[in-house]
Amino acid sequence: MESPAASGNAAKILIVEDEIKIVEALSAYLRSAGYDVSAARDGESGLAAFNASNPDLVILDLMLPKISGEKLCTEIRRVSRVPVIMLTAKSGEDDKVAGFALGADDYVTKPFSPRELTARVRSVLRRSADGVSPLFSRMSWNNGDLEIDLESRTVWKNGSPAALTPNEYKILARLVKHPNRAFSREELIDTALGENFGGFDRTIDSHIKNLRGKIEDDTANPVYILTVRGVGYKFGRPEKMETEH
């Protein structure tokens, strides 16, 4: 594939992030991939840089000094459909859903690998260049170990598509949209499988068992779909949060 630099028309990427190590690592990676990279360290200078440089894509940290990433995204969306990839270390994944509501095109949870993010950048830019709406709800955990695209209803485990049944997908999607919220078996049947589903509520257990077999490394010690004793299940944030930055 021709690199953006080789075409003499490198895509401009603006990184707004206050953690210098992340900025350095990402900038180096994106530059070596041929992009024209600039960076701002807080929301205020990020907005100024956006207005001044008219970037082709913005990588936006959520927790920023001066103007938050959310506020900055809202400001950008008022004037532009430029693709925005959000970075977040926030613990609540409700924040992730809120980010999409603000108009982010993609979401990457820290820790992430610069390589993974560069692949996302390429993908978002391609969609944007194709005129395809860049709005898609893709999330990933543990450096891309588990990825879900709610738009195309696709799940990847360790980079390979996971063959979920429609019911397994519905259960997983329901759980990830409300992380850390404990769902009863009955709720999961009603909301994921439909109120007309006639199964006994323990039916959910066999779906969960199969789902874990497809997305967990060790089904005896799940990190994604956790059992909530006496209640049912929840999507727990993976504990392996040590960063590589």
The reply on whether position 150 binds Ca ion by CB under 5 A is no
Quickly list DSSP for 64-129: -SSS-HHHHHHHHHHH----EEEEE--S-THHHHHHHHTT-SEEEESS--HHHHHHHHHHHHHHHH
The CA distance from 75 to 68, in Å, is 11
- The interface region with Ca ion, picked from 16-24, 48-56, 75-83, 101-109 by CB under 5 A, is 16-24
Among 16, 57, 59, 61, binds Ca ion (CB under 5 A): 61
Q: Which amino acid is at 66?
A: K
230: helix, coil or strand? coil
Contact between 82 and 114 (Cβ < 8 Å): no
Contact between 70 and 102 (Cβ < 8 Å): yes
In whole angstroms, the minimum distance from the beta carbon of 65 to Ca ion comes to 8
Residues 151-190 binding Ca ion (CB under 5 A) are none
The CA distance from 44 to 203, in Å, is 52
Among 5, 18, 149, 190, binds Ca ion (CB under 5 A): 18
The reply on whether position 44 binds Ca ion by CB under 5 A is no
Nearer to Ca ion, 72 or 172 (CB): 72
Strand partners, 14: 38, 58
Nearer to Ca ion, 63 or 173 (CB): 63
In whole angstroms, the minimum distance from the beta carbon of 138 to Ca ion comes to 21
In whole angstroms, the minimum distance from the beta carbon of 206 to Ca ion comes to 42
In whole angstroms, the minimum distance from the beta carbon of 51 to Ca ion comes to 21
The reply on whether position 63 binds Ca ion by CB under 5 A is yes
Contact between 240 and 142 (Cβ < 8 Å): yes
- The interface region with Ca ion, picked from 12-20, 101-109, 177-185, 190-198 by CB under 5 A, is 12-20
Q: State residue 228 phi and psi, 5-degree precision.
A: -110, 110
In whole angstroms, the minimum distance from the beta carbon of 182 to Ca ion comes to 29
Residues 96-115 binding Ca ion (CB under 5 A) are none
224: helix, coil or strand? coil
- The interface region with Ca ion, picked from 15-23, 151-159, 165-173, 218-226 by CB under 5 A, is 15-23
Q: How many chain residues are in contact with Ca ion, going by CB under 5 A?
A: 3
Nearest to 147 by CA among 118, 191, 116: 116
- The interface region with Ca ion, picked from 14-22, 47-55, 146-154, 196-204 by CB under 5 A, is 14-22
In whole angstroms, the minimum distance from the beta carbon of 60 to Ca ion comes to 10
Instruction: Go through the chain and tell me how many residues it has.
Output: 245
In whole angstroms, the minimum distance from the beta carbon of 35 to Ca ion comes to 21
The residues of the shown chain that bind Ca ion, judged by CB under 5 A, are 18, 61, 63
